[in-house]
């Protein structure tokens, strides 16, 4: 079975542009989470979606938005890119969400560079 897949693997944009990152979860997983990882730091939580609804949001500006589709794949959109948005963007999928703390499986990430 395929793991979590993300596209594109690398992306170069300039300040002010818009970017869309894509994620396909493991088959059967209904929850997708997005994380931003700046070089040398741990991942920072951005969003979690479950059954196409937003279930959690981290401390990120409104320039960041996401959605989940009926097939449980997800998109992360970032508007008006800043230099500080340069990072590895990770997508993780899990069977569900909730107090039990379902294990999250991470994709390989999308490396975004903003010039």
Secondary structure letter of residue 90 according to DSSP: E
Check binding of 92 to another protein (CB under 8 A).
yes
For residues 51 and 79, which CB has a smaller minimum distance to another protein in the complex? 51
74 and 25 Cβ atoms separated by less than 8 Å: yes
Of the candidate spans 13-21, 41-49, 62-70, 74-82, the one that interacts with another protein by CB under 8 A turns out to be 41-49
The reply to whether 2 sits near another protein by the rule CB under 8 A is no
Query: Whole-number minimum distance, CB 14 to another protein, in Å?
Result: 22
Nearest to 110 by CA among 28, 9, 3, 24: 9
* 15 and 63 Cβ atoms separated by less than 8 Å: no
- Which part of the chain contacts another protein (CB under 8 A), choosing from 13-21, 60-68, 75-83, 94-102? 94-102
Q: Please check whether residue 111 is in contact with residue 9, taking contact to mean a CB–CB distance below 8 angstroms.
A: yes
Whole-angstrom Cα distance, residue 40 to residue 29?
29
64 lies in the site for another protein, by CB under 8 A: no
Site residues, another protein (CB under 8 A): 4, 33, 35, 40-45, 48, 50, 55-56, 88, 90, 92, 97-109, 111
């Amino acid at each position: 079975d395929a793991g979590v897949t993300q596209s594109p693997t690398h992306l170069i944009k300039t300040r002010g542009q818009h970017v869309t990152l894509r994620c396909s979860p493991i088959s059967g997983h209904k929850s997708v989470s997005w994380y931003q990882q700046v070089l040398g730091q741990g991942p920072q939580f951005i969003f979690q979606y479950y059954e196409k609804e937003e279930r959690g949001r981290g401390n990120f500006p409104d320039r960041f938005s996401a959605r989940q589709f009926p097939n449980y794949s997800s998109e992360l959109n970032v508007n008006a890119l800043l230099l500080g948005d340069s990072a590895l963007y990770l997508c993780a999928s899990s069977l569900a969400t909730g107090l039990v703390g379902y294990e999250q499986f991470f994709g390989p990430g999308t490396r975004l560079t903003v010039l």
